[in-house]
Amino acid sequence: MPRNVLLTPENVFDYVGYKVFFRTGKEPGRLWGVTTILGVADSGWSIRVDYPALHDCLEIRGRKVYAVVPDDEY
* DSSP state letters, 10-61: TTGGGGTTSEEEEEE-SSTTPEEEEEEEEEE-TTSSEEEES-GGGTTEEE-T
Give the per-residue pLDDT at 74.
59
Supply the mean pLDDT for the chain.
90
Can you give the pTM of this predicted structure? 0.86
* pLDDT, average across residues 32-59: 94
Round to whole Å and give the CA distance between 37 and 16.
5
